[in-house]
Amino acid sequence: MYAALNPHLTRWQSLALLALLLAPLLWPLHYVAQRYYSEQLAEQNQQTLDLYVANLLGTLRRYEDLPPILGELPTLRAALQTPDSLAAQNAANLELQRIRGRTGADVIYLIQADGMTHAASNWDQPDSFVGRNFSFRPYYKEALQGRQGRFFGLGTTSKRRGYYFASDVRDGGKLLGVLVVKVDLEHMEQLWGNTPEQLLVMDSNGVVILSSSNAWRFHTAKELSPAKQREIAENIPYPVLQPAPLKIDQRRWISQSRHLPETGWTVSIYTPRAQVDSPVRSVVLIGSATLVALLLLLSLLTISRRHYLERIALEAQAKHELELRVQERTQELEGANTRLQEEVSNREQAQRELMHAQDEVVQAGKLTALGTMSASISHELNQPLAAIRSYADNARVLLDHERYSDARGNLEQIGELTGRMASIIGHLKAYARGARRAPENVALQPALNDALALVAQRRQAMNVELLRDLPDAAIWVQAGETRLRQILSNLISNALDALTEKGLPRRIWLTTEQTPEHIILSLRDNGPGFSEEALAHAREPFFTTKTSAKGLGLGLAICDTLLRTLGGRLELGNHPEGGALVQLHLLPGIPGVTLTPQEETRA
């Protein structure tokens, strides 16, 4: 064979020439090996990237619905409605601290309409947010416009990176404040671990906000425009106002990226190119070794068949080892894919369980509303029913004594109270379905006299002295006649309940005061007054300091709701000289004019 190449060349010279002729065959081997390992690496990186993105989005989605839900909690709304109340602020701080511990959020805080933080879950920490103004943050501005605020930034107080969700808290059309939930993102870098691959997350500005490489963090991949630089200076999302350019040697890395439309972020994974070059080099070396082996084999064929057979066996063994390595690598990738599919299945099952739990919460809310309505009807009808029973007993005695004229008067009172009960039931039905009546002009003194008449026998039996300081001229307010009587009856009955355990003398004062904006009716007693707990929770349904046999805890809650629907408000407190002081703030009406009530309209 060697003589066929050139009869004048020696055996080793012929081998060298043959090697030069066969060497170009290594280029296709290099190309195929590089393509194979590049595809394997790309598939592995894509799976890793999908898993990390799923964890990142799962963390954010777990908190995005939290602000509007927490904004409906009575404790937090009360803190915004009464910003001067230290008790309400302390209650909100404790509530936020409890929720933060259960949800795992970094910080939850409540911002007033002027941008000042009123309550926070870290209220007792050195870096507390309470008293700090965050009106410059974008999430606050977006929440003021009625949209859900989203923002990534470095905490100005904690200096920790986080993602913020914000939602407005409103009372009808009035803005009370903004509730913000901060999610800590620094732990997402720790999930990456110590691997050759590098993680990189860039925001919409092209600035690296998360990275497993400290040298890349808060560097920008593109030049920032002057407008973007001004925006960064205004919002302060990074620890630097002018991020330095990101310098990555693309010759050393193989990258894959995925864009997240929900946040505007781009998640990338960078793998050292050596992870492809090294196995490719190994394959080429193996190919070269195979080529050399073939050449040596050809040379040894002339020496001994035995050597030839041994070389064939060595080649077969090398091929078998290569196949085993490829098979093991394939099995590892299949195992990783199986684990990923199992995790996706588990997440889908968790999502179904969450939706089922949400349905159960909605059903529980409906049952609670039904119970509240039933208790409200029972509470509001007790006083008219007691008066009807008293008039009926008196009418029976009057008929026995043939005092028919007086008995007829009692029956007329029973008829009027029956109509009033129908009006109360109609009002509660309208309130249950979200309906309301337009306010009308009502004289205050007649409504007050009717409310006092309902409790006259009880007041006289308790020997309670009534001190009235009201003008002789009619005081006109904007209200509903039935609703105003209902409110006054509840408040006077509460005052009598407070005087039950007090010894003589027992007194109730009724006074009025007129301001340009309101007519203020003050009701005061000389009982024990409100406790701090009662002042904090008196407006909540079913809160009562009485025994279950004496009250349901709905009186003040109903009065507060009715007054707000009339455009007024209810203030509770204690008089400096002792006893409870309740003030009704009503809108002034037109003197001497009674407007015809309009039909019910949907709220």
pLDDT in tens, 327-370: 888 888 888 888 889 889 888 888 888 767 655 644 444 444 44
Q: pLDDT value at position 542?
A: 64
User: Residue 232: which CATH number?
Assistant: 3.30.450.20
What is the percent of the chain with per-residue pLDDT over 70, rounded to a whole number?
83
In a domain, 302, yes or no: no
Q: Which residues contact 445 (CB under 8 A, 6 or more apart)?
A: 470, 474, 475
Nearest-CA neighbor of 105 among 160, 36, 149, 175? 160
> Do residue 457 and residue 488 come from a single domain?
yes
Selection from 388, 375, 572, 594 nearest residue 484 by Cα: 594
Residue 391 lies in a domain: no
CATH number for the domain harbouring residue 582: 3.30.565.10
Predicted pLDDT of residue 269: 85
Last residue of a domain, one of 272, 294, 312: 272
Instruction: Tell me the pLDDT tens digit for each residue of 56-97.
Output: 888 888 888 899 999 889 999 999 999 899 999 999 999 999
* Largest distance between two CA atoms of the chain: 157
Same domain, 442 and 585: yes
Helix, strand, coil percent content, the chain, rounded in steps of 5: 50, 20, 30
Per-residue pLDDT reduced to its tens digit, 146-162: 888 898 887 777 778 88
Does 246 reside within a domain?
Answer: yes
Q: State whether 152 and 242 are in the same domain.
A: no
pLDDT at residue 599 in the model: 32
237 shares a domain with 174: no
The three-state (H, E, C) secondary structure of 539-564, written as one string: CCCCCCCCCCCCCCCCHHHHHHHHHH
- Per-residue pLDDT at 155: 78
DSSP 499: T
Q: What is the pLDDT of residue 287?
A: 77
The verdict on residue 285 lying in a domain is no
Are 178 and 223 contained in the same domain? Answer: no
Provide the domain count of the chain.
Answer: 3
Q: Distance between CA atoms of 492 and 508, rounded to whole angstroms?
A: 9
126 and 215: one domain? no
- The residue among 272, 291, 318 that closes a domain is 272
Do 133 and 208 fall into the same domain?
A: no
| 459 plus 566 within the same structural domain | yes
Residues 491 and 568 in one domain: yes
Indicate the pTM of the whole model: 0.44
Q: Determine contact, residues 143/112, Cβ cutoff 8 Å.
A: no
Q: Would 4 be classed as within a structural domain?
A: no
Q: Is 578 left (phi over 0), alpha (psi -120 to 50) or beta?
A: left
Angle at 244 between CA 238 and CA 248, to 5 degrees: 115
268 and 178 share one domain? no
Of 127, 153, 184, which residue sits at a domain end?
A: 184
**Domain ranges, residue 588:** 438-602
570 with 478, same domain: the answer is yes
CA distance 547 to 536: 19
Q: Is residue 87 part of a domain?
A: yes
If asked whether residues 553 and 445 sit together in one domain, one would say yes
**Alpha carbon distance 562, 427 (integer Å):** 10
Task: Tell me if 97 is assigned to some domain.
Answer: yes
Question: Could you give the CA distance from residue 164 to residue 161 in angstroms, rounded to a whole number?
Answer: 10
79 found inside a domain = yes
CA distances from 292 to 302, 357, 554 (A): 16, 69, 96
| Tens of pLDDT, residues 431-481 | 444 445 567 888 888 888 888 887 888 888 889 999 998 888 888 988 877
pLDDT at 601: 32
Q: Which residues of the chain have pLDDT under 50?
A: 1-5, 7, 361-370, 372-373, 376, 430-435, 548-549, 595-603
